[in-house]
Amino acid sequence: MSGAVDVKRLSLNQITTENWSLPEAIEGCLRQEIETISIWRHKIADIGLKESSRLIRESALNVSSVCRGGMFPALSQSERNERIEDNKRAVEEAAELGTEVLVLVCGPSPHKDLSESRKWVQEGIEAILPFAQQHGVKLGIEPLHPMFAADRSVITTLAEANDLKGRIGSEQVGVIVDVFHVWWDPYLYEEIDRANGNILGFHVSDWKVPITDLFMGRSLMGEGVIDIPRIRKAVEQNGYHGPIEVEIMNKELWKMPGDENLALIKKAFAQHV
């Protein structure tokens, strides 16, 4: 046993082929023999939920997750309620597309009091929890790299995601481990152990030095400094053996013909995950 990754676990996170519509991404996966896809909500909106669902069923692709719910913090209760309603729509979309996982990017803070925003995140998740349970959809809290704390997520470490999951105390809630967001963390492996049984997703890309763009700076696996196989094995030892999403926001990949992009990520996946 070499411990090599099974390439069948590759899931195309749709942001990696941002220039493709959902129908194009589905066709691309079928051509490239990728069996699983993670679907973004703006791509569902482009063609409608019913058509998205029909295409997915017809393709027989698995759906590893819907990206993304979250974005809970807002200054007024009415705005926070709107966010909660929007998250319920995301839960419905996940259920309709046949995935068990809605990824939560929890949202930035509208003011300087991060601890209040973190409470709003917890309140938001608790508010959608019964609805998610009814729909058979689990909620995956994804800690984002701390460099996104100001504009994307006040949940910044796996420790914090584990704590949040613990406070909510529901089996319906788990965590997502994305190597790009967590690789630097000195307490990463303890926190992966602590997430045992609660890991709902595993995302890969790489951190190439120097990073020139915070959001678009991700690279193909193998081009950067992240010890991806070590993190994968830790996640597996803690019970996660599901799809591994390749999620790379990268302008060079986006410019490339989609099939070339998929061929590249398949190769990098086999060699470096």
Q: Which stretch binds a second copy (CB under 8 A): 1-9, 43-51, 154-162, 263-271?
A: 154-162
Min separation Cβ 163 and a second copy, Å:
8
Radius of gyration of the chain (CA): 18
For residue 208, give the nearest of 175, 163, 253 by alpha carbon.
Answer: 253
Out of 55, 149, 216, 270, the only residue in the binding site for a second copy (CB under 8 A) is: 149
Query: Whole-angstrom Cα distance, residue 215 to residue 191?
Result: 25
Out of 147, 256, 263, 270, the only residue in the binding site for a second copy (CB under 8 A) is: 147
Asked if 169 is part of the footprint of a second copy (rule: CB under 8 A), the reply reads no
Out of 157, 162, 250, 261, the only residue in the binding site for a second copy (CB under 8 A) is: 157
Q: Which stretch binds a second copy (CB under 8 A): 1-9, 93-101, 131-139, 203-211?
A: 203-211
Asked if 114 is part of the footprint of a second copy (rule: CB under 8 A), the reply reads yes
Query: Whole-angstrom Cα distance, residue 219 to residue 266?
Result: 14
CB 162 within 8 A of CB 175: yes
Asked if 193 is part of the footprint of a second copy (rule: CB under 8 A), the reply reads no
Out of 109, 198, 219, 261, the only residue in the binding site for a second copy (CB under 8 A) is: 109
Asked if 120 is part of the footprint of a second copy (rule: CB under 8 A), the reply reads no
If DSSP codes are grouped into helix, strand and coil, which group holds residue 95? Answer: helix
Asked if 45 is part of the footprint of a second copy (rule: CB under 8 A), the reply reads no
Strand partners, 11: 36, 245
DSSP 24-86: HHHHHHHHTT--EEEEEHHHHHHH-HHHHHHHHHHHT-EEEEEEEEE----SSHHHHHHHHHH
CB 158 within 8 A of CB 182: yes
Taking residue 33's Cβ as centre, other Cβ atoms within 10 Å add up to 11
Out of 19, 24, 184, 260, the only residue in the binding site for a second copy (CB under 8 A) is: 184
Out of 93, 142, 160, 191, the only residue in the binding site for a second copy (CB under 8 A) is: 160
Asked if 112 is part of the footprint of a second copy (rule: CB under 8 A), the reply reads yes
Degrees, nearest 5: CA angle 95-99-103: 95
Out of 24, 82, 85, 151, the only residue in the binding site for a second copy (CB under 8 A) is: 151
Asked if 232 is part of the footprint of a second copy (rule: CB under 8 A), the reply reads no
Out of 150, 167, 259, 271, the only residue in the binding site for a second copy (CB under 8 A) is: 150
- By CB under 8 A, name the binding residues for a second copy: 109, 112-115, 118, 145-147, 149-151, 154-157, 159-160, 163, 183-187, 207, 209-211, 214, 224-227, 230
